[in-house]
Structure 1
Amino acid sequence: MATDTYIPRRLDDQWKIGFWDMDVAMPVLFAIFVGWLAGTRTAFCICVAIGITISRKLSKVKADKHEAYVLHWMYWWLPCTPLTALASTPPSHCRRMIG
C-alpha cells in the first residue's frame, strides 16, 4: 500500500478544548456563560476575569500531579449523589478500609 497509516501514540489522553484540558477550560466557559446571562459588559468582563483566574490557579495546582487529579479531588471532597456514585468503590466518607 502506498498510503501512510496514522498510528495514534496516546489513546487515553484527556479531552481537550483547543490546547487546554477540559477541566482547566470549564471554569472559563462557565464564567463566560454566567457573564452572558448577567446581560451587561461589566458583569461579563468580571465573570471572565474570575474564570481565567480560577483556571490558572487550577492548572498550577495540578501541574505536577496525575492527569485525573481533579476527578480524584472531586470524588473525595464533593458530596456523593446518584450521578457521581461509583458502584465498585466505597463511599467517599468512608476513609478507613479494612482488609
Structure 2
Amino acid sequence: MTRMEEIKASVTVTNTGNRPGEEVVQLYIQDLYGSVVRPVNELKGFKKIFLNPGESERVTFTIKEEDLKYYTSDMNYKSLHIVRNVFYFKVTHMNQLQVL
C-alpha cells in the first residue's frame, strides 16, 4: 500500500426490530504478523447511524496508509508499504464482530 492508495470497507446494517433506533458501526483492524505485539483490535473508525424499522444503510470506511502506521521495535513509525504485514479488517455493531 502506498500513500496514494486506500482501502474501502463497507457493511450494510439493517434494523430488524420494530422500533427506530441508533447504531454505532465500528471498524477495527488486527495486525496478524507485526514485528511487535499490538492490540488484537485497534479502532480505526466509527459512524453513528439512525434506522427506522426495516430500514438498511450501507456504511463505508476508507483506510489510508496513515491508518496502518505503528511503532516498530526500533521505535520507527512505519506502515504497510514499508513493513509487509497482514491485516484483518472487522466491522462491528452490537458487540458482534464480522471479518471482512
TM-score, normalised by the number of residues in structure 2: 0.22
TM-score, normalised by the number of residues in structure 1: 0.22
Instruction: Pick the structure with more helix per residue.
Output: 1
Q: Point out which structure has higher relative CO (alpha carbons under 8 A, 6+ apart).
A: 2
Instruction: Pick the structure with more strand per residue.
Output: 2
